[in-house]
Amino acid sequence: MQKAYHLYFGCKIGDHVKDWAPYVCCRTCATTLSKWLRDKRKAMQFPVPMIWREPTNHIDDCYFCMVPPASGGFNKKKKRTIEYPKIPPALGPVSHGLGLPIPEPPTDFSISSDEDNLDVSHNSPQASTSACGGSRHDDDF
């Protein structure tokens, strides 16, 4: 998944030692990225993923304290009523548009067994590193 993420978004998955950062990819995103990589699906819904930064407190700056847990799952009706907070530590995904085109999947690539080494050789255009959010990209991501 890390290779597909790097190829699609043009940036590496960030620091995994932060206890406040999520370490999972939802099934929908994992499936979509996998299908995009195999050229079975056109694209993700967004070219810039969720950007996570360390919260300063747990009252009004912690995304996970402000959003109810999804342990029971979501149905279509419940999913539409969820309100996600717009706070600096959790910058939401950005939609495709001018300057943020849909990347093409690589036509030929190799994935090494070392997940930390995200150097991928391929023969097709790669997502721009500007898709990482430019000034929004920081050491906490």
Q: pLDDT digits over 27-82, tens only?
A: 888 899 888 888 887 888 888 888 888 889 888 888 888 877 766 677 777 777 77
How many folded domains does the chain comprise? 1
- Average pLDDT, stretch 82-104? 79
Residue with tokens 């309100």: 83
Domain that holds residue 68: 1-91
In a 10 Å sphere around its CB, with 0-12 CB exposed, 13-18 middle and 19+ buried, how is residue 59 labelled? exposed
Q: Do the domain assignments include residue 126?
A: no
24 part of a folded domain:
yes
Does residue 26 belong to any structural domain of this protein?
yes
- Torsions phi, psi of 65, nearest 5? -80, -25
Q: Is residue 80 part of a domain?
A: yes
Other C-beta atoms closer than 10 Å to the C-beta of 51 total 21
On whether residue 70 sits in a domain, the answer given is yes
Q: Beta-carbon neighbour count of residue 117 at 10 Å?
A: 11
Q: Let me know if residue 129 belongs to a domain.
A: no
> Residue 99 domain-assigned?
no
Residue 74 falls inside a structural domain: yes
Residue reference for tokens 């999972």: 24
Q: Examine the pLDDT at 103 and tell me if it is beyond 50.
A: yes
pLDDT for residue 111: 53
